[in-house]
Structure 1
Amino acid sequence: MAAKKIVRPIFDNPFLNITVNPDGTVKRGPEVRNPPNPDPNSTSSVLSKDVTLDPNKNTWLRLYIPKMAAPRPPTAKLPLIFYYHGGGFVFCNADSSIFDAFCKGLVESLGAIIISLDYRLAPEHRLPAAYEDAVDGFFWVKNTKDKWITEYADLNNCFLCGTSAGGNLAYHAGLRFAAMAGDLEPLKVRGMILHQPYFSGTKRTGSEQKLANDPLLPLYAIDQMFDLSLPEGVDHDHEYCNPMANGAFKNGDEMRRLGWRVLVTGCFDDPSVDAGLECAKMLESKGVKTLKVLADGYHAMEVFDASMSGPLHHAIKDFIFSCDNI
């Protein structure tokens, strides 16, 4: 069988022309945003609904559940995945059409529950705001009486997953979870899935140099979005940007002690691939069991083209199953 031809998407790429307003906000163009679908009589195989996380921060969560599980609690409760969308910490939302479709596809393939976080965006809310929102999400699940969680979710079988900037967020949210794991019981995280994570540093990686003019995520866009999202006055070797920076692995000993495993995925034609692999290598050197899965393709290709997502879904499903049998 011939290999599937990889065609890059044609769309209005917000990363290429970022406009910063005089008040420090960013101009964001219109995007397609999908409403939730909680109707069990719909034709969709996945149901979704939105819940408020923190009204003062204007943050919220989109919950996804397989429709076949909804009429009655399943015999065995379902794995719970905390998902974090991409967009360089500057763009997109949990209900952006591409990420909504991506989450639905994951739920359908994995038979899991997904909670997608709509976190605060930079530069209006610089890091660690998004990481703090993720922690709020953990406590919401710990304390909620929502039936989709209490009846269907296996809180002893949780995973943190994110795409691009969401992969960065999953990593740092994981470090925070590990540091306060006792306070978050009965939640138990078994692993992290860093899907083409968005990291960088002052020293250029080989893939950043090779793909500096990438049409989707050029090097200047990587730099500009980190400039907009990092705390003011720091460089790109700050721990939020560079996981190899001094002190960036704090709380990592807890991650190792808790027995977490980490899946890092990457694509060969992605400027961020080498930074993701360096993070994986660092985790391995610290004693964290890490699996790397590489493929031909471009940054976040499974988000832009659902037909490319099959291998990723299989890798995540195998990873979750392996963690569940530790």
Structure 2
Amino acid sequence: MAAESSIIVDPCAYLHITLNPDGTLTRSPDAFPTASPTISSTATVLSKDIPINPANNTWARIFLPKQPPNKLPLLLYFHGGGFILGSPDLAMFHEFCSNIAGELPVLLVSAGYRLAPEHRLPAAYDDGMEALRWVKTVEDDWLRDHADYSNCFVMGSSAGANMAYHVGLHAARETDDLSPLKIKGLILHQPFFGGVRRTESELRLVNDPFFPPCVSDLMWELSLPVGADRDHTYCNPTAGEDSFGVLDEMERLGWRVLVTGCDGDQLIDRQTELVKMMEKKGIKVEGRFGGGDFHGFEFDDSSKAKLLHLVLQDFIFSDSV
């Protein structure tokens, strides 16, 4: 347990945000440095930005290995930030995505989405589905020349992994409309879920200096529909029945799902519960959970990130689908 001096008593200060009287947030630009797209001739991975929906100010950053083979698996990625922070150009997400694109290798599309509380859920999910439809129709030479649309994966980190799950649920009902995109699987990297009842890991890590429950509680309060609690299906998919049978559809399609996490993250019990739920539905789900570490550790530790790359490489380039 963290030392008393590390206990977080003000989640707004921890997140560098101010909640305004009109319900909007003021986010500190200095707390989260950004990175420009990489077009240097010396870069091993190139990147560029393309608008998705100017009316919603959504856009994507595309990452392409400098010397790609003709076709690469297509990876649609959603960043984290508890639905209230973040964008594809944050330096931590830029570097994370660039390294994945270069080392696996894949053509990676990091798609942005509207943030809460200005745009509460399901706005982010709607933007995720729009990005999925957009990526198959946008006129772009990198995608045209190098993306294997028949070999697509949807991935996210933290809140982005929550998005990948819910976007996957929607996409499973629209596979014909998404052609020629063929989704092979979902990659949920330290997915962000919650619930009203505290789990053992949430109680054990109540004073975690990296990502305590009081911070995730605030994120859910600001992002869920007004009046909803943390047992809403957006937050807690294990709280109720799968009334739409969408997981059954995912099983029928033969999608594989990878869920990663670590026992130093207060979310691990939620993540393992999700794996068990999907196993009961007959979905080909693999849980990769390590010891120690903390939420988002692979963004801070390049050696741990390289281990994640090996897991992703094995999952994406497997011939089991």
* TM-score class, shorter: over 0.9
Match of 1:172? 166
Match of 1:320? 316
- In the TM superposition, residue 51 of structure 1 has moved relative to its aligned partner by 0.3
- 1:282-301 equivalences under 5 Å are 282-295=277-290, 296-301=292-297
Aligned to 1:95, the other structure's residue is in SS state coil
Match of 1:258? 253
- 1:90-101 equivalences under 5 Å are 90-101=84-95
Match of 1:224? 218
1:184 aligns with 2:183: no
1:128 aligns with 2:122: yes
Q: 2: distance between equivalents of 1:47 and 1:249? A: 43
Match of 2:209? 215
1:237 aligns with 2:265: no
- 1:82-121 equivalences under 5 Å are 82-121=76-115
- In the TM superposition, residue 249 of structure 1 has moved relative to its aligned partner by 6.7
Amino acid at match of 2:228: V
Aligned length: 307
Q: Deviations over 1:23-42 (max 9, x none)?
A: 11112111211111134x2x
Aligned to 1:175, the other structure's residue is in SS state helix
Q: For the Cα contact (< 8 Å) 1:242–1:248, is it kept in 2? A: no
User: Structure 1 17/35 Cα, relative in aligned 2: closer, same or farther at 3 Å?
Assistant: closer
Q: Deviations over 1:131-166 (max 9, x none)?
A: 111111111112122111111000000001111101
Q: 2: distance between equivalents of 1:249 and 1:286? A: 13
TM (norm. structure 1) is 0.91
Q: 1: distance between equivalents of 2:13 and 2:147? A: 36
User: Structure 1 177/14 Cα, relative in aligned 2: closer, same or farther at 3 Å?
Assistant: farther
Q: For the Cα contact (< 8 Å) 2:159–2:192, is it kept in 1? A: yes
Question: RMSD of aligned C-alpha atoms?
Answer: 1.6
Match of 1:60? 59
Unaligned runs of at least 5 residues, structure 2: 1-10
1:33 aligns with 2:29: no
- In the TM superposition, residue 16 of structure 1 has moved relative to its aligned partner by 4.7
Q: 2: distance between equivalents of 1:189 and 1:151? A: 19
User: Structure 1 15/287 Cα, relative in aligned 2: closer, same or farther at 3 Å?
Assistant: farther
Q: Deviations over 1:287-309 (max 9, x none)?
A: 10111111231101111232321
Q: 1: distance between equivalents of 2:270 and 2:128? A: 23
Q: For the Cα contact (< 8 Å) 1:65–1:114, is it kept in 2? A: yes
Q: 1: distance between equivalents of 2:61 and 2:178? A: 20
Q: 1: distance between equivalents of 2:16 and 2:48? A: 33
Residue number among 299, 302, 319 corresponding to 1:306 in the alignment:
302
Q: 1: distance between equivalents of 2:14 and 2:98? A: 25
Q: 2: distance between equivalents of 1:102 and 1:249? A: 36
- In the TM superposition, residue 13 of structure 1 has moved relative to its aligned partner by 9.2
Aligned to 1:312, the other structure's residue is in SS state helix
Q: For the Cα contact (< 8 Å) 2:12–2:18, is it kept in 1? A: no
Q: For the Cα contact (< 8 Å) 1:167–1:194, is it kept in 2? A: yes
